[in-house]
C-alpha cells in the first residue's frame, strides 16, 4: 500500500535542492529553466535520491571517470557511458540516471559481501585509514570518491581470473554485484579507473596502499571473484588530465560531442600484414561452398534413388550405419486444405498460438478497401541506414548506439571455381564412387537445396 507524499515535505525538499543548486561550482553555467525542470522531475520521481543526485552533480565520481577517460582518448566507453550524456546531467539538462537493479543489489548486499570477504582472507577494515579516506577532499575540486573498504592482508595467495597472485599489505577494495560474472573477461576498464581514482586520493592523504582489489559476487556460482588491480602511475596522471578537461567543459557550459566509431581507414601496410590470413579465409569459404554443393548433389541422388520423395516419413527417422540420419519436416498447403475440408473442419485442426498472432494481410487489405479506408497510411517505409545515421549525428544523438554493422566475407569468383574443381577432383571418389568408375552422376548443384516433393496416391 502506497501513501501520497506529504506536500510540506516535498516543498522542504525543493528548497533544499535549490540551496544545493546554488552551491554547485557550475551554477553560473546552468540554465534556470533546466534546473527547475530537473528539480520538478526528481521531486516527483525520485524524492529519496534527489539530494544525493544534486550533490553528485557537483563533481566526477569514481564510477564516471573510466568512461570519461575512454572518451578523452577517442574511444567509446562500455556500460553505455558517454561524456556527452554525462555533461548533460551535470548541467541539469537531462534527468539523472535512475538507480539500476545491479547498483541497488550491490548497495543492499555490500555488508554481507564484505563479511564474506573478511572471512575468506582473515582480514578486517583498517578503520583509521578508511575514515581518513572517506572524509578526504582531493586537490582537484571535481574529484569524488566513496570508498567501499581499506583492508590489510597477511601474506597469502589470492586466486584471480589471471591466475594466482601473492598479496600482502593494505589494499583499496571495491565490492561489486554484477548481474553475471565471466572469468574469461578481464577486469572492466571502468572498474580499474574507479579504483585508480581512489588510489589518487589515498596518495594525497599519505595512505600507503599495495594495490587494489576488485571483489565481484558471482551469483550463479555463489562465490567471490577477486581480482588484484595494480596501481599504474600513468593511469593516475591520465585521470587527472581527463577530469580537468571535462570539468572545465562543464564550468563553461559546454556539451562534448559524442565519440563516434571511426570509419574504415586501413593502411596498405596493415592490409599486407593480414593478407595471408585473408587468403586462408577465402580458400576455406570457397572450399566450404564447393563441398556443400557436392553434398547437395549426393543428397539429391539418395532421395531420388531410394524414392524418399514419394514416401511419407510421418515423424520417423531413417538411420544409416555410415553415421547419417534422415528426417523430414512437413508443410501443408493451407489454402488447398481449406478448399477440401471447409473452414469449420479446418478450425478444429488449429494449435495453441505462441508469441504474437499472425494476421491475414490480404483479408485486412480487402476489408479496409471495402470500407473506403486509404491504405497509404499503413505502408511501411523503407529506410536508408546512411541517412538515418547522418540525421542522428546532425541532431546531436549518439548514432553509433543506434546503428550496427554485420561484417561479411566473400571469396573471389575465380577462387570458387578453382575450389569446385579441387573438390571435384579430390572428394569425388569419397562422395560418389559411381562417378569415379565412369558413371555419369548428378553433378554439383549451384542452387539452394530444393524442397522434397512427395507424390500422393
Shared domain check, 136 and 84 = no
In this structure, the answer to whether residues 244 and 129 fall within a common structural domain is yes
Residue 115: the pLDDT is 97
> Are residues 58 and 195 located together in one domain of the fold?
no
Among 122, 81, 383, smallest CA distance to 258 is for 81
Let me know whether 75 and 122 are in one domain: no
- Say which residue, 90 or 1, is predicted with more confidence: 90
- Are 79 and 109 part of one and the same domain? no
- pLDDT average, residue stretch 238-258: 96
Could you tell me if residue 390 is inside a domain?
A: no
Cell numbers 550405419 correspond to 321
311 phi, psi to nearest 5 deg: -125, 160
**What is residue 267's predicted lDDT score, i.e. its pLDDT?**
84
pLDDT tens-place string over residues 409-437: 888 888 888 888 888 777 766 655 544 44
- When mean pLDDT is compared across 12-21, 371-380, 433-442, the lowest value belongs to 433-442
**What is the mean predicted confidence (pLDDT) over 222-235?**
94
444 in any annotated domain: yes
Residue 399 in any domain: the answer is: no
> Do 115 and 240 share a domain, yes or no?
yes
Q: Would you give the distance in Å from CA 169 to the centre of its chain?
A: 37
Q: Both 184 and 133 in a single domain?
A: yes
Domain end among 90, 112, 145: 90
- Tens of pLDDT, residue by residue over 291-350, are 888 889 888 999 999 999 888 888 888 999 878 899 998 888 888 988 898 989 988 888
User: How much is the pLDDT for 127?
Assistant: 96
Quote the number of domains for the chain.
3
Shared domain check, 323 and 447: yes
Residue 441 and residue 308 share a domain: yes
- Provide the domain limits for residue 83: 7-90
Is the model more confident about 451 or about 164? 164
Q: Do 133 and 36 share a domain, yes or no?
A: no
Question: Does the residue 135 lie in any domain?
Answer: yes
Q: Confirm whether pTM is higher than 0.75.
A: no
Task: Assign residue 180 the CATH number of its domain.
Answer: 3.90.320.10
**Residues 111 and 227 occupy one common structural domain:** yes
Show which of 67, 90, 113 is a domain's final residue: 90
The reply to whether 386 falls in a domain is no
Residue 453 has what pLDDT? 38
**Residue 439 shares a structural domain with residue 314:** yes
Amino acid at each position: 500500500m502506497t501513501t501520497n507524499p506529504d506536500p510540506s515535505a516535498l516543498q522542504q525538499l525543493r528548497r533544499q535542492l535549490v540551496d544545493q543548486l546554488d552551491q554547485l561550482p557550475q551554477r553560473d553555467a546552468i540554465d534556470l529553466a533546466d534546473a527547475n525542470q530537473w528539480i520538478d522531475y526528481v521531486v516527483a520521481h525520485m524524492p529519496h535520491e534527489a539530494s544525493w543526485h544534486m550533490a553528485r552533480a557537483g563533481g566526477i565520481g569514481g564510477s564516471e571517470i573510466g568512461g570519461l577517460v575512454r572518451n578523452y582518448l577517442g574511444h567509446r566507453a562500455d556500460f553505455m557511458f558517454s561524456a556527452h550524456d554525462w555533461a548533460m546531467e551535470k548541467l541539469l539538462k537531462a534527468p539523472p540516471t535512475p538507480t539500476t537493479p545491479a547498483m541497488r543489489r550491490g548497495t543492499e548486499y555490500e555488508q554481507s559481501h564484505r563479511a564474506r570477504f573478511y572471512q575468506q582472507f582473515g582480514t578486517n577494515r583498517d578503520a583509521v585509514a578508511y575514515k581518513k579516506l572517506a572524509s578526504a577532499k582531493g586537490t582537484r575540486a571535481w574529484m569524488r570518491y566513496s570508498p567501499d573498504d581499506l583492508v590489510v592482508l597477511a601474506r597469502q595467495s589470492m586466486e584471480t581470473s589471471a591466475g594466482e597472485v601473492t598479496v600482502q599489505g593494505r589494499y583499496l577494495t571495491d565490492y561489486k554485484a554484477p548481474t553475471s560474472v565471466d572469468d574469461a573477461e578481464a577486469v572492466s576498464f571502468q572498474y580499474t579507473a574507479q579504483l585508480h581514482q581512489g588510489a589518487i586520493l589515498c596518495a594525497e592523504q599519505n595512505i600507503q596502499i599495495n594495490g587494489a582489489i576488485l571483489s565481484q559476487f558471482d551469483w550463479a556460482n555463489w562465490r567471490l571473484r577477486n581480482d588484484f588491480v595494480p596501481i599504474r602511475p600513468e593511469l593516475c596522471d591520465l585521470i587527472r588530465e581527463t577530469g580537468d578537461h571535462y570539468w572545465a567543459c562543464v564550468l563553461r557550459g559546454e556539451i562534448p560531442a559524442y565519440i563516434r566509431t571511426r570509419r574504415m581507414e586501413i593502411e596498405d601496410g596493415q592490409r599486407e600484414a593480414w593478407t595471408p590470413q585473408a587468403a586462408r579465409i577465402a580458400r576455406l569459404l570457397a572450399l566450404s561452398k564447393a563441398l556443400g554443393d557436392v553434398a547437395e548433389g549426393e543428397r539429391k541422388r539418395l532421395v531420388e534413388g531410394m524414392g524418399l520423395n514419394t514416401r511419407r516419413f510421418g515423424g520417423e527417422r531413417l538411420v544409416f550405419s555410415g553415421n547419417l540420419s534422415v528426417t523430414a519436416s512437413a508443410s501443408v498447403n493451407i489454402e488447398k486444405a481449406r478448399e477440401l475440408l471447409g473452414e469449420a473442419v479446418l478450425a478444429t485442426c488449429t494449435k495453441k498460438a505462441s508469441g504474437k498472432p499472425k494476421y491475414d494481410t490480404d483479408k485486412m487489405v480487402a476489408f479496409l478497401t471495402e470500407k473506403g479506408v486509404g491504405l497509404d497510411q499503413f505502408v511501411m517505409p523503407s529506410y536508408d541506414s546512411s541517412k538515418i545515421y547522418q540525421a542522428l549525428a546532425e541532431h546531436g544523438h549518439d548514432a553509433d548506439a543506434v546503428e550496427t554493422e554485420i561484417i561479411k566475407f566473400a571469396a573471389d569468383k575465380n577462387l570458387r571455381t578453382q575450389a569446385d574443381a579441387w573438390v571435384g577432383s579430390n572428394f569425388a571418389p569419397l562422395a560418389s564412387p559411381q562417378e569415379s568408375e565412369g558413371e555419369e552422376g548428378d553433378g554439383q548443384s549451384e542452387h539452394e537445396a530444393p524442397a522434397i516433393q512427395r507424390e500422393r496416391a
